Amino acid sequence: MVPQMKRKLTQTALIKSIEKRAFCLEDPRAANRHYPLKDVFMTSFWMCFLNADSLSSYYEDLQKAKGNVKSLLGVREVPCRNQMCNVLDQIPLDQLSLVFDDILKRMDRSGVLNDFKHSRFGYLIALDGTQISNSKKISCENCCQKHHKDGRVQYCHSVLNAMLIHPSQDVALPVGDEFIQRQDGRKRQDCERNAARRWLNAFSKQHKIMNMTILADDLHCNQPFIEALESKGYNYIMTCKEGSHKYLYEWIEAQRQGGDLQTLTLTKYEGNRKRIYQYEYVNGVDIREHDALKGNYVKLTIKDALGERNLGTFAYLTNYKISTKNIEALVDAARRRWKVENEGHNTLKTKGYNFDRNYGHGKKNLRQVMALMKLIAMAIHVLIDYLKQETLARVRKSYTSIKKAMEGIRNLFRIKRCKSWEELYKYALFGLDSS
């Protein structure tokens, strides 16, 4: 039996939460409502949850698995492909993004959210943008455009993803998004910085009391965004590169030459390999030359056992006061931002979610809605794998890769009629002869 405190985070409970959101969506169709909006939405969501390779292969599976459509997907009647895409194309993105807030609230009520809280820096939220489509021919009204000198135009969609990073495990949980696209009434191209501001405003309204530290790359390490973060009560640790912070680095170099930078050298082992960690830091630096906020700077240089070869250099700006007591933990937390790349975007694009594959572009929101549902599906998978309380987690771990595990589940969905997902997962784990 699933423990009481975790029942809110089972696959069944999370899917029901998504179905409730589907019921609340405003139906964009003025007529031809033969297929309920909930059926249209859930048909497409299950495609993302099952990591289907393409829209056509998914519909082939649905044709062969008619017995499972109602019992497992909870869909009364499957809409045709064109009808599904036309409806999804008109769904507002802000309504769908509320699913992430529902998941976080369930984690909070179940006590699981506290597992993700860093003992020093609260909840680590990593921000990073990634491209999800790029075409010379296919476009919609929300595409960003890149005009080349030879007259060529490229159309693209990108998204800023926000992921909750576990403080000690390799877990990155999607908790929000903001698409980088043309905004209503604006002719100028959108950018990741603007998307980050929009995400911050929306997220802070839903989660006013969360003790958060934002981890971001150098693109966001600027005074306007830092001022916006601090106005919401959020902390930050951001990559700080010399090329975009010329004044700050000149000041730090002067401090270094005068011997005024604080330093700390430690010996660590990465497996059996000895490494020299050299830290230098200073508090109260000006972020820019004029009307500047104060920030705190830290740099880590990793060298080999002899201290001769440089293996990596990392520099960060933060509003946490740095000392020898917290410098190791602070830099370790900052470096966990890479989880949004490794466990986040890399998983989305190469391990079955087909995040940058075109399942249909549409005229307005189809491309973004499909990407958003893949993020929601990933969030559910991450939680199921993390909690290890359901058979699906055992199935996903028993295969050589998650991609192959989901392929095995899709094959069973197509050929074996089941009364529940639990029954199907047991067949995937123990084989068809296990009954």
**Average pLDDT of the chain, as a whole number:** 92
Among 327, 342, 366, the domain-final residue is 327
What residues form DSSP beta bridges with 262?
A: 281
| Distance from C-alpha of 84 to C-alpha of 299, rounded to nearest angstrom | 51
Q: Is the distance from CB of 96 to CB of 88 less than 8 angstroms? A: no
Question: Does the structure show a pLDDT above 80 at 30?
Answer: no
- Own/partner contacts of 134-142, CB < 8 Å, gap of 24 or more, are 135/358, 135/361, 138/358, 138/361, 139/361, 140/361, 140/362, 140/363, 140/364, 140/366, 140/367, 141/182, 141/363, 141/364, 142/179, 142/181, 142/182, 142/364, 142/365, 142/368
Lowest mean pLDDT among 140-144, 243-247, 288-292: 140-144
The answer on 82 and 24 residing in a single domain is: yes
Strand partners, 270: 273
Task: Tell me if the pTM is above 0.75.
Answer: yes
Residues 12 and 65 in one domain: yes
Q: Is 116 contained in some domain?
A: no
Confidence of residue 117 (pLDDT cuts 50, 70, 90): very high
**Span 402-431, pLDDT tens digits:** 999 999 999 999 999 999 999 999 999 999
Looking at residues 157-166, what average pLDDT do you find? 95
| Two tokens, residue 266 | 């430690």
Residues 368 and 321 grouped into a single domain = no
> Residue 97: what residue type?
S
302 and 377 in a common domain: no
The pLDDT of residue 150: 87
pLDDT score for 4: 52
Average pLDDT over residues 202-219: 90
- pLDDT score of 183: 73
Once rounded to an integer, what is the mean pLDDT over residues 389-393?
95
Length of the chain as a residue count: 435
- Cβ atoms of 296 and 261 within 8 Å: the answer is no
Flag whether 82 is in a domain.
yes
Which helix (H) or strand (E) segment holds residue 202: the answer is helix 192-206
Query: Are 318 and 363 contained in the same domain?
Result: no
Last residue of a domain, one of 287, 309, 327: 327
Give the whole-number percent of the chain exceeding pLDDT 90. 75
386 phi-psi bin (left φ>0, alpha ψ -120 to 50, beta other):
alpha
Go through 47-59 and write b for each residue having 16 or more CB atoms within 10 A of its CB, e for each that does not: bbbbbbbebeebb
Among 327, 347, 381, the domain boundary falls at 327
What is the percent of the chain with per-residue pLDDT over 70, rounded to a whole number? Answer: 97
Given this model, what pLDDT does residue 177 score? Answer: 94
- Please count the structural domains in the chain: 2
Kindly indicate the confidence band of residue 359, based on its pLDDT and cuts at 50, 70 and 90: confident
Residue 160, pLDDT above cutoff 60: yes
According to the model, what pLDDT value does residue 307 have? 86
pLDDT tier at 200 (50, 70, 90 boundaries)? very high
Take residue 281 and report the two structure tokens written for it.
Answer: 């830091």
CB count in 10 Å sphere of residue 390: 21
Assigned domain for 176 exists: no
Q: Which domain holds residue 244?
A: 238-327
Mean pLDDT of 151-179: 93
Instruction: Convert the pLDDT of each residue in 76-111 to its tens digit.
Output: 999 999 999 999 999 988 888 999 999 999 999 999
Same domain, 323 and 364: no
Q: Judge whether 24 lies within some domain.
A: yes
- Does 362 lie in the same domain as 267? no
Question: What is residue 435's predicted lDDT score, i.e. its pLDDT?
Answer: 60
Judge contact between 31 and 37, C-beta under 8 A: no
Lowest mean pLDDT among 23-37, 121-135, 272-286, 418-432: 23-37
- On whether both 310 and 387 belong to a single domain, the answer is no
Specify the pLDDT at position 112.
Answer: 95
pLDDT at 185 over 60: no
Q: Which of 1-10, 204-213, 272-281, 351-360 has the lowest mean pLDDT?
A: 1-10
- Please check whether residue 19 lies inside any domain of the structure: yes
Tens digit of pLDDT for each residue in 38-78? Answer: 999 999 999 999 999 999 999 999 999 988 999 999 999 99
Task: Supply the pLDDT for residue 209.
Answer: 65
Q: What is the pLDDT of residue 167?
A: 95
pLDDT of residue 2: 44
Task: Tell me: do 93 and 17 sit in the same domain.
Answer: yes
Task: Provide the pLDDT for residue 145.
Answer: 87
The pLDDT, as a whole number, for residue 187 is: 63
Residue 1 has pLDDT above 50, yes or no: no
Among 269-273, 332-336, 357-361, the least confident range: 357-361
Tokens of 375: 């993020």
Q: What is the pLDDT of residue 34?
A: 86
| pLDDT band of 18, cuts 50, 70, 90 | very high
Q: In angstroms, rounded to a whole number, what is the distance separating the alpha carbons of residues 345 and 372?
A: 13
Position 3 pLDDT exceeds 90: no
| pLDDT score of 169 more than 90 | yes
